[in-house]
Structures are given as C-alpha cells and as structure tokens.
Chain A
Amino acid sequence: MGKYVEKEALPPPVSTTGPVAWVRQNLVSTPLNTVLTLFALYLIWELLPPILNWAFFEANFIGDDVSACSGAGACWVFIKTRLGFFTYGFYPDPERWRVDISFLLLALVIVPQFIKGFPYKAWIGVAGLTILPVIVGILLVGGMFGLNHVETHQWGGLMLTLVLSYVGIVAALPFGVILALGRRSEMPTVRLVCVAFIELWRGVPLISVLFMASVMLPLFLPEGWDFEKLLRALIGITMFQSAYMAEVIRGGLQAIPKGQFEAAAALGLGYWRSMGLIILPQALKLVIPGIVNTFIALFKDTTLVLIIGLLDILATVQSSIVDPKWGGVATEGYIFAAFCFWVFCFGMSRYSQALERKLHTGHKR
C-alpha cells in the first residue's frame, strides 16, 4: 500500500464552465440561436461603428460657435455653449450659485440613500422630504436673508424640471396616502369626497389640467389675484399626481389580509395607530414598484409644461435648436435631453430596486 496522496480535484470539464461554455450554452445552443447570434453580431458590426464615430471619434467638442463644428460627427459644442441655458433657464447669471447649492443639497440627500449603512440615512431621507424643499424654496425664490428676489418666470431648464418633479413627488405621496385611506373609509362623506376627487383628476389628461390652470383659471380669478404660472402648474401637477398615487396605494392596502386589520384591532390600536404602525408599512412596501413607476411617469410628464410656456429642459433645447446661428443640431439637442431624462429615471428605478431588496421580509419566493 502506498502512501495516500491527496489528488487535486480535476477542474470541471471545459464544456460546462468558463467563457467557452457560456458561449455554447447561450449563443450557439441551437441552430436558431446560432442564426440569431450571427444576425445580432452583424447588426452590431453595421451600426455600432457609425454611431460611435458620430458621437465620439468624429464629433466636435472644442470651440464656442458653429464654425467649430466642421467635422462629420456630432456638434457637442452646441450643447456646451448652451449648457448654462439648459441647466438654469433664464435664472440671472450672478445668482446661479443658488441653483448650484440647491443641486448640491439634493445630491447630499439622495446619494446617501444609495450607500449601504450610511449613518443617519433615514433621517437624511426624512430631511430631504421636509426641510429640503423649504431651504431650496427660500434659496431659489429669494427675497429674504439678503438674497435677491428671482421671479419664477425666470426659472427654466433642468432646474425647473427638477423643481416640478420634486414638488410633485414630495407632495403627492402624503396626499395619495390620505386619499387612499379616505377612499376605503367607512364614513360615507369622506369616502364620497375622496372618490370624487380621485375620479375627477384621474379622468382628465394632465395636458388639460395644465391648460386649465394656465389659460382658464386667470379668466375667472378677480384682478390682482393673479398668482404665478409656476405655482398654478405645481398645484395642477400635485392634484393630478395624488389621484394616481392614491390608487396605487389603495392597491397595496387591498393586498393586506384581513387578519392584519383584526390583529391591530385586537391589540387595542386605534385607527391611526393601526394604519400607521401595521397596515401602511406593509402596504407601501408592497407597492414600491408602482409608486416609483408613477414617479418616473411624473418626471417625464413634466415636459408637458412647455404647452403653458414654461421652459423645462426639453423646451429650452427646442427653443435653442431653432436658432439660425446653428444649423442642424436638432439630433444633438434631443439626444442630450433624452440622456438627462434617462439618467434621472434610471436612478429612480435603481433606487426602488435597492429599496425592495432591503425591505423584502417574506413575500419573496
């Protein structure tokens, strides 16, 4: 008997792991798959180089006017020279630092939410929903603490888009919760009011809400009651959005088994405490995808304010590409706007997925 020598385990067969196996299993497993793979490769071969050439290799990045755009590719110089306008709209130049600080504050609130185990994360989030809008509001509007007053008609670009969606999101969530609870209330008046509100606002398109707020409302208000167009748009968007939010949250409330309500009652909790401590935490967790979906839709819907003459980021792009000094920069402009929207919407989507993973406590299979 020889001495036992431990043999090293054999590596798994090449055909089951590693890149080769991955290619075999995923790309060329059947004749049909092989054909599709080849076709996809052909498409990439055909499309990718021209797109990359246009967007990067032959694009023009340096310079400050149309003469710099001599190359065959994209004219990013246009975006560069107009970036200030796309970001701040008509916000006066010497005051733009106030917008920058607002952006920074927003980032300071949002970024920690993505970092696992960041200290006081929840409190930062709460501050973002309560104190931040107030601070940013004072900062942007001004007129106190020695800040010059900047009228809201000068707001525009990305900043306006963010203001509209942030206010819409922050205000619509609590309103939505109240409306959803009201709709399931056993008090007939409360229920009727909530149902009427929800069905009324959900039954009209946002575009007509904005149009009513901008065009019809001033006709009926007495002279001197003329409040600002941005405020009117914000109220319209909030109303509209809370109706949608209410229905999403009601969906979550209906998914909670009756036993939970009875258990809450058995513990002797009153209505608000049983809702706040037992029902809503479960219901809201269930409908995170729905809520975020509504927020993303809202973020994109804010572009509709261009029909009432508020220049959000898309509208600033649109009013810049018609400038006869620049020829044929529409593609660059729209790609820039699309990219901005994608960044924010994708960010929201990732955040919601992270939140779902963190909060999953049972229902996952």
Chain B
Amino acid sequence: MKKTMSVLTGALVATAVTAGAASAADTLETVKARGELICGVSTGLPGFSLPDEKGNWTGLDVDTCRGVAAAVLGDATKVKFIPLTAKERFTALQSGEIDMLSRNTTWTHTRDTSLGLNFAGVNFYDGQGFLVQKELGVKSATELDGASVCIQSGTTTELNLADYFKANNMSFSPVVYDTSDQTVQGFAAGRCDILTSDTSQLAALRSKLDNPDAAEILPEVISKEPLGPVVRQADDVWFNIVKWTLFAQLNAEELGVTSANADDMLKSENASIQRLLGTNGDLGEKLGLGSNWAYNAIKQVGNYGEMFERNVGPKTPLQIPRGANALWNKGGFMYAPPVR
C-alpha cells in the first residue's frame, strides 16, 4: 500500500513538475504585477513562523519572506502569508499557489532533486538534540543506554533517534506522543528520562516545564537539519533573487550594516558596502531589481543577525545561542559569497 502510494505520489509530482516548468518561468513578473509576495509558512512554530495576538506573523522564516518582499517590491509589508501543513507545503509551491516556501524545511538530497524545487540557501542550521532530567546525572548522549525517550510521532526525529542509538549500540524505549505539547507534558510527568527534538525548540520546550532548572540540554546534536527557503525549479531569475536577498542580509551583518545605520552607510567609503547598498555598481539590475534592493531589505527587515536576535536569539524565550548560525568569521557556518 505504502509503495503504491509513493509511486502514485511520484507520478503526480512528475506531472506537476512538467506542468509547472512550462509556466513557472517568470515568478518575478507575477509578483511585481500582483504587487504582493505570497509566502508559505508553518501553521505555528515558535521563533520561525507564529501568529501573535493580533494575527500578525512573526519569526525568522517570516522575516526571510519580508526581506524578499522588500527587495522585490520595496515594501516589507507586501507579503501574504499562507499557513501550510508539512504535507501540503511542496504541492502548494509546485502548483504555483505560493511564490516561495519558507517553512522550516530541511534541505535534503531527495527534496532538492526529485520534487522540482530548489533550495535557495540556509537561514537556520538546526539539528536534533536531547533534554534530560538533571537527576539522571547524564552528561553526554553516549551514556543514554536503556533510556526511555519522549518523541513526537511521524517526524524524522523518530528515525534519527533510532539511527543514533543503533550506531552507538544502545537500546531505548520510545514513548510516542502526537503533539510537541503532549511530549513536554509526558516529560514533565516523568514518563521518560529524555526528550528529543530539534535544538531550535528544546529551550522553548524546557521553559514550558514547571521547574526548568531540573532539566538540561545535552551538548550532542545527532542530525543535520539545514533549514531554508525553497523556490520552484527552472525559474533561475527568481531563484537568484531569493538566494541573494538572504546573502545580502548575511553580508550586511558581516559588513556591519544594520537597519538602524543603513541610511548612514549609504555615505560609506567601503566599496563592498557601496556595491551592497547600490550606491555603486549595478548588482540590483543584474538581478532584475532596482539598485536599492538590498538597502530596502536591510533597512526594513534588518541584517541576518538582527533577524536572528529578534526571533530566536538569547533574549527571546527560545534562547538559542548563535552557535552554528554565527557568521563564518565568528565560528559559525553562515557564509555568503562576496558582493562583487
């Protein structure tokens, strides 16, 4: 049954890819004509895309979309956010319902090569980690033999966990829950020794415990989860725009350009900054945008560091340290090609 389904889905996707390829060529023109960017986000993931009290979307993935809207349309507010579930996210992009997908989506080989999609970069390096009860006295994930683990069902988390324990010749007993909230409740009630989830969520889950100090996050990260925006394949103009908007925000952080000082930086003598902000050269025109594309994105949304601090950084409830998401020259993986 499962095989039949996957064959069927494969066939459908293949149809969609061929159908999409013919018409998807000018997302840029479509977006400009519409005057609005349509962006697929999650139905609610803290720090990445979450509606607030007023129903406004906030988060790192949301800001990624806003950056693109600012670069293309000159106005970061001209974005329509479509909440999508994990199952329908790729179809929504393939069928043209959305212009870009920014929904904590892990960049994997299969997704990049067989779905007719392109990953336009990485806006967050995530990975799977562990939260343990302190009283267990465990200091490393390698000491977890025989532990009971609270997991959310149906996620790659479950598979990664099995792989990890098998590779280290350890056994575990899974305690499976349906939602992340139930998983925390189970962990808080002592139904399991450890809880596993993406590290981006562990701190937030820990803060939901009655006594957060009784639990700690282990240093091990057992999987690679590079998350990033996705666009349709065979539309290289649009692909370049999404990719380089993110790069521009990374370069801005590296060059010290922020939303607060962007106006002063227009007078900067630094050639890289001049090229980035469009006071010199024609980098914007090469993308098919105005010369102030990067200026708009940085001025209205901020550089990558600002986006990170605002949504997921140590001062937010998620309390995620920069770690792997720091710039390449500060010990992280965030590396943008030069603006030249």
Contact = CB atoms under 8 A, between A and B. Distances in A.
B85 A308 contact: yes
Nearest to B24: A223
A335 to B, nearest CB: 14
A208 to B, nearest CB: 12
A24 interface: no
In the complex, which of the residues A93, A306, A319 has the most CB atoms of chain B within 10 Å of its own CB atom? A319
A89 B55 CA distance: 6
A49 B186 CA distance: 26
Interface stretch (B67-75, B90-98, B218-226): B90-98
Contacts of A211: 87
Interface string A77-121: 000011011001111010000000000000000000000000000
A36 B12 CA distance: 61
B257 interface: no
A84 B52 CA distance: 11
A88 B53 CA distance: 11
B97 to A, nearest CB: 6
Contacts of A84: 53-55
Nearest to B57: A90
B55 A90 contact: yes
B292 to A, nearest CB: 29
Interface stretch (B191-199, B202-210, B258-266, B321-329): B202-210
A280 interface: no
A216 B46 CA distance: 29
B313 interface: no
Interface string A213-231: 0111011110100100100
A324 B209 CA distance: 11
A315 B87 CA distance: 16
A127 interface: no
Nearest to A222: B19
A324 B43 contact: no
A322 interface: yes
Range, interface on chain A: 35 or more
Contacts of A215: 87-88, 91
A161 to B, nearest CB: 16
In the complex, which of the residues B15, B16, B95 has the most CB atoms of chain A within 10 Å of its own CB atom? B95
B80 A151 contact: yes
A246 interface: no
Contact of A324 (B46, B55, B94, B210): B46
Interface string A288-304: 00000000000000000
Given A84-B53, A218-B95, A223 B23 contact: yes
Interface residues of B, number: 40
A107 to B, nearest CB: 24
Contacts of A85: 51, 53-55
B47 A218 contact: no
Contacts of A220: 15
Contacts of B47: 324
A154 B47 CA distance: 21
A90 B51 contact: yes
Given A215-B91, A216-B12, A322 B181 contact: yes
B115 interface: no
Nearest to B317: A324
B97 A311 contact: no
B44 to A, nearest CB: 3
A97 to B, nearest CB: 16
Contact of A327 (B84, B180, B208): B208
A324 B12 contact: no
Given A84-B53, A85-B55, A308 B207 contact: no
A219 B51 contact: no
Interface in A163-218: 211, 214-216, 218
B181 A330 contact: yes
A328 B210 contact: yes
Contacts of B54: 84-85, 93
Nearest to A88: B55
A324 B318 contact: yes
Nearest to B16: A219
Contacts of A81: 53
A7 interface: no
B120 to A, nearest CB: 22
B185 interface: yes
A347 interface: no
In the complex, which of the residues A151, A307, A309 has the most CB atoms of chain B within 10 Å of its own CB atom? A309
Contacts of B43: 306, 309, 311, 315, 318-319
Given A218-B95, A226-B97, 13 more contacts: A85-B55, A151-B80, A154-B55, A156-B55, A211-B87, A221-B95, A223-B19, A308-B85, A309-B83, A320-B51, A324-B47, A324-B207, A330-B185
28 contacts: A81-B53, A85-B54, A85-B55, A88-B55, A90-B51, A90-B55, A151-B80, A153-B80, A154-B55, A156-B55, A218-B91, A218-B92, A218-B96, A219-B12, A219-B16, A219-B19, A219-B94, A219-B95, A226-B96, A307-B85, A311-B83, A316-B51, A319-B50, A319-B51, A323-B46, A324-B46, A324-B318, A330-B181
Kindly list the 4 A-B residue pairs having the minimum CB-CB distance in the complex, ordered from nearest. A319-B44, A324-B317, A218-B95, A324-B204
Interface of B: 12, 15-16, 19, 23, 43-47, 50-55, 80, 82-85, 87-88, 91-92, 94-97, 179-181, 185, 204, 207-208, 210, 316-318
Interface of A: 81-82, 84-85, 88-91, 93, 151, 153-154, 156, 211, 214-216, 218-221, 223, 226, 229, 306-311, 315-316, 318-325, 327-328, 330
